[in-house]
Chains A and B, each alone.
Chain A
Amino acid sequence: MNDSYDLRSSESHIEVHKFRTGAIIGSLLLVLFLQAFLPLYVPKAEILDLPLLITIYFGLSRRNPSTGLLLGMAIGLAQDSLSGPTVQLGLYGIAKTIIGYLASSIGARLDTEHPAARFALTTIFFVAHQGLIALTRRILLAQPETWFNMRLFVAALVNALVAVFLFLLLDRLRKR
């Protein structure tokens, strides 16, 4: 994947970040591995959706909707593939494609570098992601799925908190 992107003239007041070669693919493989591996030793870690956090981060940083949605699709389909045959290919794919698009679209209009902005956006995107999953399962797959409950609300806040620190770590992968 090409990690460089030129800024459009109409959005020149927002800085577009470039990443070191292989940073995106490396981060993607690492979070997929952690997502499958971590709950084995820390059962509570299943509440985290690290692939979603990565989708949001690179969407907000790259600020190119096309790149954001394609990256979201790749991450989502990989997560679908690792989830076993009970999860149809495309369930996470569709949700993360849309989240990738939304994150990069918002990233192109707002400055999203402040931790408070990142916390709020991640909370909103987590809720939206769950809504898209529920929508897909209910309408396309005719499967029962909770729209939202207290557990998901707590999960949204926990993921947003983790995102603040994770995004600071990922900032170090940017080219200076």
Chain B
Amino acid sequence: MVAIPSRHKSLVLLAGVVLLQVLLLAVQIKRDSQGRLIRVWTVGAISPFQRAGANGVGSIRGIWNHYFALQSTSRENEQLRHENDALKLQITQLQSKAAEADRLAGLLNFRKLHLDVPMVGARVIGASPGTASVTIDIDRGQRDGIKKNMGVITPDGVVGKVIESYANSAQVLLLTDKDSGVGALVAESRIQSPVGGTGEPLLSMKYVPNDDTVNNGEHVVTSGMDRIFPRDLPVGTIVEIKAGNPFKQIRVRPAANLERLEEVIVLLTLHPLEFKQESEPASQPQPVAPASAAEKPPAARR
């Protein structure tokens, strides 16, 4: 057997370790597998800390808002001004609570409007630990009926889809991720085209021919053709249009605030859904029923 000089041992180890990981990558590329055990273990180890951290920050915020802020105000003011400031502070707290109540009422109202659609509310407890993907972690998982590929929304619009579900938590791929996409159409003209992430805050509407007329400010809604999201959920608003070859380059600002998500709704079904329309504008034509689930042009499919 050939002896390896000691000064080269670490180099050999480096080559071996890198080769092993390349093989690991190769195995993953060949197999379209379910969640791997190492992911389950790692997420299982970290998610309790994320959950505890989220609760801890909430408690500290609560203590700060309800005690220290009041105390510092009382020290700085005279009796009358103190009362005045205390009232102002109370108003601020009430406004904060009202905003929270509005948010929760929005979620509740959304659920009431769609009682026939199985859904569950979830709290966001973590975000992706790297820039290679844009994901969030939520505090509901398999025990709450959440499965891979289920749609995730807020009352404002589409958020993304579940890419992994663990016992007590799940990972959601946000619309802004480069690998993300949703079947969509322009609400006013009913021009259909998938909308995908770019890794940046704005989305990209990919396959609108240059001949079609699209304007800034027009709303983009789901088409229902991806069989994950029901029709006519808000996706975003068109903010930039450039001519391209052969398709326009259209940028869309997401309807949901994807950078500040606190609560989301998971649609608990893997079957195509149909939401009842709250109010259909008279001028807005009904969407054309899709002929097939395929929406992307063949060349663009992965």
Q: Identify the B interface with A (CB < 8 A).
A: 9-11, 13-14, 17-18, 21-22, 24-26, 28-29, 35-36, 38-39, 41-43, 46, 49-50, 53-54, 57, 124-133, 135-137, 163-164, 171, 173, 177-179, 259-260
Show 30 A/B contacts (Cβ-Cβ < 8 Å), sorted by A. A32-B46, A33-B49, A33-B50, A36-B46, A37-B49, A37-B53, A37-B126, A40-B136, A41-B57, A46-B128, A46-B131, A49-B131, A51-B129, A64-B10, A65-B13, A65-B14, A69-B13, A70-B17, A77-B38, A84-B133, A84-B173, A85-B39, A85-B164, A89-B21, A89-B24, A89-B25, A90-B22, A90-B28, A91-B25, A133-B132
Q: How far is the CA of A35 from the CA of B49 in the complex (A)?
A: 12
* Residue in B28, B38, B130, B136 whose CB lies within 8 Å of A92: B130
8 tightest CB-CB pairs across the interface, nearest first?
A: A65-B10, A81-B42, A90-B21, A35-B129, A90-B25, A39-B127, A36-B129, A90-B24
Report if A98 contacts B (CB, 8 A). yes
* Residue in A66, A87, A101 whose CB lies within 8 Å of B9: A66
Contacts of A133 in B (CB 8 A): 132
Contacts of B43 in A (CB 8 A): 81-82
Contacts of A51 in B (CB 8 A): 129
B35 touches A93 (CB 8 A): no
Contacts of A83 in B (CB 8 A): 128-130, 132-133, 135
Contacts of B17 in A (CB 8 A): 69-70, 73, 97
Q: How far is the CA of A32 from the CA of B124 in the complex (A)?
A: 17
Q: How far is the CA of A92 from the CA of B42 in the complex (A)?
A: 15
Interface string of A87-116 (1 = CB under 8 A from B): 111111110011001000100000000000
Contacts of A26 in B (CB 8 A): none
Q: Identify the A interface with B (CB < 8 A).
A: 32-33, 35-37, 39-41, 43, 46-47, 49, 51, 64-66, 69-70, 73, 77-79, 81-94, 97-98, 101, 105, 133, 136-137, 140-141, 144
Known pairs A49-B131, A81-B43; list 20 more (Cβ under 8 Å): A32-B46, A32-B129, A37-B126, A40-B54, A40-B125, A40-B136, A41-B57, A49-B130, A65-B14, A79-B129, A81-B41, A83-B129, A84-B135, A87-B130, A87-B132, A89-B24, A89-B25, A94-B22, A141-B25, A141-B29
> Given A87-B132, A89-B24, A90-B22, are A33 and B179 also a contact pair (CB < 8 Å)?
no
Q: How far is the CA of A64 from the CA of B13 in the complex (A)?
A: 12
> Given A33-B50, A51-B129, A65-B14, are A86 and B25 also a contact pair (CB < 8 Å)?
no
Contacts of B22 in A (CB 8 A): 90, 94, 140
Closest beta carbon of chain B to A22's beta carbon, Å = 16
Contacts of A81 in B (CB 8 A): 38-39, 41-43
B21 touches A93 (CB 8 A): yes
> Given A41-B57, A43-B259, are A91 and B127 also a contact pair (CB < 8 Å)?
no
Q: How far is the CA of A171 from the CA of B131 in the complex (A)?
A: 27
